[in-house]
Chains A and B, each alone.
Chain A
Amino acid sequence: MSSRFRIQPDPPVAGKPAEVTYVGPATEVEWQADDGTPVRVKPGKDGRFTIPKVPSADSLMFTDHRGLPGYLYRDVTHLG
């Protein structure tokens, strides 16, 4: 199943920036690291937004609240 979200690098790396691309109908999306507080983001006109520093977490989750195609789950990679 293809998601409306793409993330680079994939999988994301803890402590490093990640660039997220969203292609879908929502003007605002949400991401969350593990049990952390959800972060609301308005993607730019090109659908992109950046997570400056990926949290040191197990996972990142993204949603546009518009069904499963608008959801992305990724395990976070930890270097060293």
Chain B
Amino acid sequence: MILGRFQHVPCPDFSDAPPYVAVDARPELEPRVTRRHLMTGLAGLGFGAAVAATVPSLLGRADTSPGAATFARRQGAPVDVSKLPDWARDMLEKPPEHLIYNAGVYEMKGARAWRDRRLVPCFERLLDVAIETSSKDADAVGACAARALGRFGDAEYLTQRLGAILARPELESTKDAALRVIETVHRMQQLDTMQDEQKKKGR
């Protein structure tokens, strides 16, 4: 059941990716999974092992490509930086050291603004910074980013980057948070699908 989610995960081949992809290539995701949904979700402890053992393609392809993060952002909806709050703009523009220092505060601000999906790219960048930095704080930063993305109901980018996270054993908390979000969002999507089907049957 769980693997059904991953069979549908886009796994782009970066070797022949065009230099630029239309920013509206991927339709904006509907925020169907709300924070209240997530609150009801439970993390499966064996989920990580199942993913690692059964989805080798996920580990080997999209996540380790140096252009993966950039590619994913290019596919996302365009972000009008001028309309973001100052702190969110900082998250997109300031150097990695700034994001690492303020990761906790950003998580708190993101938690308060969980309805604003324009902020998702900010936390995707925070996750990128955590994955790419050699800082001893990388794991704490990554966990902040993963939890924040979970509050937005966004597991797609975490799924794309899961291989890169698993490739760094020191990112233990990040991995746990990411898997928890991925599984919870997946379960909520399954529930939504079941409810939709029941409604159709009821008509």
Contact = CB atoms under 8 A, between A and B. Distances in A.
A65 interface: yes
B119 interface: no
B104 A68 contact: yes
B100 interface: yes
B79 to A, nearest CB: 21
A38 B137 contact: no
Interface in B102-161: 102-105, 107-108, 111-114, 136-137, 139-141, 143-144, 147, 151
Nearest to A38: B108
Contact of B103 (A35, A36, A58, A68): A68
Interface residues of B, number: 24
B101 A63 contact: no
Nearest to B104: A71
Contacts of B140: 1, 68, 71
Task: Give the dominant DSSP class at A's interface.
Answer: mixed
B136 A35 contact: no
Task: Give the dominant DSSP class at B's interface.
Answer: helix
B143 A1 contact: no
A72 to B, nearest CB: 8
Give the one of A32, A61, A68 with max B CB within 10 A: A68
A22 to B, nearest CB: 14
A71 B112 CA distance: 16
B101 A68 contact: yes
23 contacts: A1-B136, A1-B139, A1-B140, A30-B108, A34-B111, A35-B113, A35-B114, A36-B112, A38-B108, A38-B112, A58-B39, A59-B111, A65-B105, A67-B101, A67-B102, A68-B101, A68-B137, A68-B140, A68-B141, A71-B103, A71-B107, A72-B104, A73-B147
- Sorted nearest first, the 4 A-B pairs with minimum C-beta distance are A71-B104, A67-B101, A35-B112, A68-B137
